Every structure is written in C-alpha cells, then in structure tokens.
A = this chain, B = another copy of it.
Amino acid sequence: MDQKAFFQKLVSFATSVHQVTNEMTKDIKSDDITLVQYGILQYIAVSQPVTLSEISDCQRISMPNTSREIKKLCEKKLCEKVTDPQDRRKQYIRLSRDGEVLMNEDFNRMEAIFLKRIQGASDKEMDEIGRALDLLHTKVFYVDAR
C-alpha cells in the first residue's frame, strides 16, 4: 500500500472514531453539565489526580477559564480540590463521590453501545480486536507522557 493511501486510512479511521464516540456522548450529557465540563470530567476520570495546569494543557483551555470551570464543577459537587502538602501552590483535582458515580454511569453506557456494536463476534474475533487495539494504542495513538 502506498503511503498516501495509508494516511488516508488513518485519517478516515480517526474521523470515524470521533463520530462514533460523539454519538455516544449525545445521550449522556445527563445533568446540567456542558460539553466542555464533560470533557474535563472525563480527563480527570482517566488521569486523576491532576493539577489545574495539566487540565489546562491537555484540554487546551486557558488557566483562568480552567479555574472557572473547575470551580463550577466543584460547586456542583462533581470534583474536589486537594492542596498538595509538599507544594501548597498546587491543587490536585479528583472526582468526588458523585463525580465517580456520574462517570461510571457514562462509561457503562459507552460499554453498552460498544457491546451492541460487536455483538455476534466470536471469541476469536474478540481476541483479534483486542490485539488490534493494543497495537494501534502503542504504535500510533499513544499519549505522550506528561
């Protein structure tokens, strides 16, 4: 396969992943949280504990705006701030109990949708899918260490 075709395959794949996951989050947007806030919560869920700076970096939201959104999320009791005892400038953010519950619900809903999509696959196919995920995750869609 020539290189151009290969990259088109990659780009079109990434686009599809976006479309599929967007479709999943459409129903989710449960409470009165916005999409930006949902994105932040997801990031916290997979990377906690995180500092405000890390959220700002990874979600591409300026520090002042990150601070504002986290404040709102804390007011909604979905996450909590903990001051680092070693460096009292730092604030570690974690999901609160309620936040954990919310995110778990959402992940379960995503699971259900994925399950629907791959229902009918044999054990062998599931294995292949698992290996394909590992391969792409490590070789192409790895996330830089922070």
Binding site for B on A (CB under 8 A): 1, 6-7, 9-22, 26, 42, 46, 58, 60, 107, 110-111, 114-115, 117-118, 121, 125-137, 139-143
Contact B118 A13 (CB under 8 A): no
Residues of B within 8 A of A17 (CB): 14, 17-18, 141
Contact A7 B115 (CB under 8 A): yes
Of B118, B139, B141, the contact of A139 (CB 8 Å cutoff): B118
Residues of B within 8 A of A15 (CB): 42, 46
Of B1, B18, B42, B126, the contact of A6 (CB 8 Å cutoff): B126
Contact A135 B132 (CB under 8 A): yes
Q: In the docked arrangement, what's the CA distance between A140 and B115, Å?
A: 9
Contact A9 B133 (CB under 8 A): yes
Residues of B within 8 A of A7 (CB): 110-111, 114-115
Question: Lowest 10 A-B CB distances belong to which pairs?
Answer: A132-B132, A7-B111, A16-B141, A17-B17, A132-B135, A20-B141, A13-B133, A17-B141, A14-B21, A19-B143
Residue of B nearest to A136 (CB): B132
Contact B16 A143 (CB under 8 A): yes
Residue of B nearest to A110 (CB): B11
Contact B139 A136 (CB under 8 A): no
Known: A21-B14, A21-B18. A129 touches B135 (CB 8 A): yes
